[in-house]
A and B are shown apart, each in its own frame.
Chain A
Amino acid sequence: MHAIHVESLVKSFGGRRAVDGISFQVDEGEVFGFLGPNGAGKTTTIKILTTLIKPTSGFVEVLGYDVLQQADEVRKRIGVVQQQESYELNLSVERALDLYGLMWDVPRRLRRELLEDLLERFGLGEVRKVKAGELSIGMRRRLQVAREFMHDMDLLFLDEPTIGLDPIARRDTLNFIKRKSDEGVTVFLTTHILEEAEYLCNRVAMINKGRILVVDTPQNLKRFFGGIRRVEMRVNGMMPVDFVSRIGSDDSVESAQLTDPQTVTLVTKSPGEALSNMLRLAEKFRLEVVSVYAAEPSLEDVFIDLMRGDN
């Protein structure tokens, strides 16, 4: 059984189609990334999957339940961290966690255990008595993410969960999500930080203007679409400007620029050819090469390429 099954989903607001006939499946236990630029239709899709809004047309099944006919069953089994902030102004961190657990009918003893664990895991121990309204944005985000783990779920929706988090909290959060996934929770993630998707996701879908452009593993996407790579060369002494313009006009090179006085960075679709041409030219210029580095295409490179192509 698929955790999520979407067929020809459409959502229109007035005459505008925010989601335009998308279809995809998410397997149980999978971490599925849903990536796209602002306004691509990610949050609208999440709102439909979480039964918050109704689709205009199409078929959507979550955990085997139809989101229109069996919305209650869906909501009992999912967790959601929204993109927008959500908190209760007057409640302290520990009261907010406890009350959220109570709302989900978690027994008192288990709530106490979960609360202590989450306070420590999300670095909220020191602010446990502080009201949510008095916390920094980052701490409130931690609270919002931590809160969702006060109850059990089969499927977790994370809509840009690390917005506002510092790098350490971000990494801790990602690791915690990974652990939950290892325990069998299916995760549906949207993020603008593509390193996160690369780190967490088994598969990703890239969406633009309400349409899915591609669905595959990050590895396959990089292999198929990550044609453009960066090649860097660092020399001893100053990099001659003439060298940069000469290598920049090479047929194998898309662009060349000085990234610092000693380093030139090439963008190329043929890294091997560009590298050998650059080394040959360096020899002519009698440059002493200190290091050469060919960067792997990242998921971000794939994303930018695909979105630019689609636009």
Chain B
Amino acid sequence: MHSILRLTLRAFISSLDKATLFFILVFPAFFIFVMGFAFTGIIPDFIVGGAKLSYPVFLASGAVTFTVINSGMTVGVIIWFDRKYGMYEQILMGPFRRYEYLASIILATILVSLLSAGLAFLIALPVLIQGGLTFQGFLYAGLVLIVGSVLFGSIAIILSVRLRSSESFQVFNSFIFFIILFTSSVFYPTEYAPQPIHIISLVNPLTYLADIFRAGLLGLADPMLFLKISVLAGESLILLILAVLMFNRIRV
């Protein structure tokens, strides 16, 4: 087996214990079935991309993308744990190169993101099926999830490289996680939000991820779709380059 695959398997196994998987899946399930249906009574159906959507359908598709930020961060931060608990140096003294280690983290991030998004999708399926799923849209949504997982994996790598103490790491991790989550279009269409939040949402990659995923999965017409794809791909590329550059500067 190629060394990158062996390292990917290792990152996959060591970051995905039962508790983490439970956390990754329970959150979206909770949002879909508790929050989604609890708010149905006060949130009437609304128009998104020219189609009328119920709040549970809107939220369910957003919740699937939400697993990507969750799992992307979970796997990406393995670099922080490896550095803290000595595995980073241990691996680099083994039959591996630096770039192989980094590639394995990014690959594992994509794998875990797709796996958790896939499971979240199955959980959300009873709701999403009401929104008119298409096979083409499904594949398209999968590709977008890959780009999104690279993006959030890169953010996690940057945090892992920059922050050394447990306290600052946890605070920053939670802070960024919640800022990104609640200023995105995962829970609500941001064009309906107050202007300041709407502006923030326009630089938030999760907004684009959620919008593109939703449009692809539910076959919604979005005139800004190409622009959104470009912004998401551009942000992913910039963050990935930044993550690689910062990773290469880690001293042992």
Contacts and interface: CB of A to CB of B under 8 A. Distances in A.
B95 A75 contact: yes
A95 B93 CA distance: 20
A82 interface: yes
| Interface of B: prevailing SS | helix
Contacts, number: 66
Given A75-B95, A95-B13, A82 B6 contact: no
B6 A78 contact: no
Interface string B209-232: 000000000000000000000000
Contact of A86 (B14, B86, B96, B97): B86
Interface in B70-114: 81, 85-87, 89-97
Contacts of A85: 85-86
B160 to A, nearest CB: 14
Contacts of A80: 90, 93-94
| Interface of A: prevailing SS | loop
Contacts of A89: 81, 85
Q: Chain B: interface residue count, which band?
A: 20 to 34
A50 interface: yes
Contacts of A90: 14-15, 17, 20
Q: Which of B9, B20, B89, B96 counts the most chain A CB atoms within 10 A?
A: B89
A51 B93 contact: yes
Interface string B1-43: 1010011011001110100100000000000000000000000
B93 A52 contact: yes
Interface stretch (A99-107, A184-192, A217-225, A293-301): A99-107
Contacts of B91: 103
Chain A to chain B: the 9 pairs with minimum beta-carbon distance, closest first:
A86-B86, A86-B90, A80-B93, A90-B17, A50-B93, A76-B95, A88-B14, A84-B86, A85-B86
Interface of B: 1, 3, 6-7, 9-10, 13-15, 17, 20, 81, 85-87, 89-97, 252
